[in-house]
Amino acid sequence: MTALLPSGPTTSASTTGTPWLDTVVAPGAGWVGAVPAGSRFRIVDLHGNQAVDTLLFDADDPTNRYSAVDTVREQGAAYLTTGSVLLTQDLDPLATIVDDTCGRHDTLGGACAQESNVVRYGPHTRHQHACRVTFVRQARQYGLDVRDLTHNINFFMNVPVTSDGRLSFEDGVSAPGKHVELRAERDVVILISNCPQLNNPCNGFDPTPVRLLGWTS
């Protein structure tokens, strides 16, 4: 197991506080949990080039949920990185990215679904596992359903957008051991799908596990 952990929780000066979470999420699996205000939540890309599809909800009112478009508009930039404040559709801060050794993360590319796989890659992909399935399965534990799923963050994923109007999926900017760390700005629920996509470079065509770490403030 140690070999899977090139960036352990003791390597960063920011990792003070009491640990409350240390788990590995397999590719194609997910995680959902409550993260209290002030605590920190780190995602480690253990093997590199792994997309981690993520949604956040205000724990007290799940209809006040992460909004990709409100977040990118208010920060005036398409990509997420250190300093990005993840906003709800009511412009309330859910979490701040306080550490990022990857450098940038996508929030315009959305999650894969069986149906969008058919559109993008053809009918032979209809029964391939997809993030939306994981989201629905995990969200159920908090009483959330399809209607609560909105446009997500893709941590470690590289989706360049350009001034000539183009958007593309490129090979990852991440690498083994890169991590991103959030500080919860209110009590939040975080919903994660560790992306199973096999048809584009977002996972280097080989989905791999990620590690989740949490510390209280």
Partner 1 sequence: MSPLDETVPGGAARSFVLRRTQLLRLTAGAAGANVSTLLFAADRPLERLCVPDTLKAQMQVRIRPPMVLMSDAGRALASVTGSSLDWHDAISGHSTDAHLARFGPSSYANDRNSWRQSARAGLLDELAKWDLGRRDLHASINFFSAVVPGDDARGSLTWRPEHSAEGDWVDLRAELDVLVVLSTAPHPLDPAPTWRPAPVHVAVRPGGAPTADDPSRTFRAESGRALDETERTAA
Give the footprint of partner 1 on this chain (CB under 8 A).
63-64, 67-70, 72-73, 76-79, 81, 89-91, 104, 108-111, 113-120, 122, 132, 146-151, 159-163, 165-169
Identity of the residue, 1 or 123, whose beta carbon is nearer to partner 1 in the bound complex: 123
Tell me how far, at minimum, the Cβ of 208 lies from partner 1, in Å: 22
Tell me how far, at minimum, the Cβ of 72 lies from partner 1, in Å: 6
Identity of the residue, 52 or 149, whose beta carbon is nearer to partner 1 in the bound complex: 149
Identity of the residue, 207 or 214, whose beta carbon is nearer to partner 1 in the bound complex: 207
Identity of the residue, 7 or 88, whose beta carbon is nearer to partner 1 in the bound complex: 88
Residue pair 37/185 in contact (Cβ under 8 Å)? The answer is yes
Tell me how far, at minimum, the Cβ of 50 lies from partner 1, in Å: 18
Tell me how far, at minimum, the Cβ of 29 lies from partner 1, in Å: 22
Identity of the residue, 39 or 88, whose beta carbon is nearer to partner 1 in the bound complex: 88
- Provide the CB-side half-sphere exposure for 160 (13 A, CA): 8
Q: Which two tokens stand for residue 92?
A: 């309330």
Identity of the residue, 120 or 209, whose beta carbon is nearer to partner 1 in the bound complex: 120
Residue pair 191/7 in contact (Cβ under 8 Å)? The answer is no
Tell me how far, at minimum, the Cβ of 116 lies from partner 1, in Å: 5
Selection from 36, 8, 71, 29 nearest residue 187 by Cα: 36
Q: Which two tokens stand for residue 24?
A: 């590995």
Residue pair 107/72 in contact (Cβ under 8 Å)? The answer is yes
Query: Buried b / exposed e across 43-62, counting CB within 10 Å, b at 16+?
Result: bbbbbbbbbbbbbbbbbeee
Q: What does DSSP say about strands 153-155 and 30-35: parallel, antiparallel, or unpaired?
A: unpaired
Q: Exposed, middle or buried, 25 (CB in 10 Å: 0-12/13-18/19+)?
A: buried
Tell me how far, at minimum, the Cβ of 66 lies from partner 1, in Å: 12
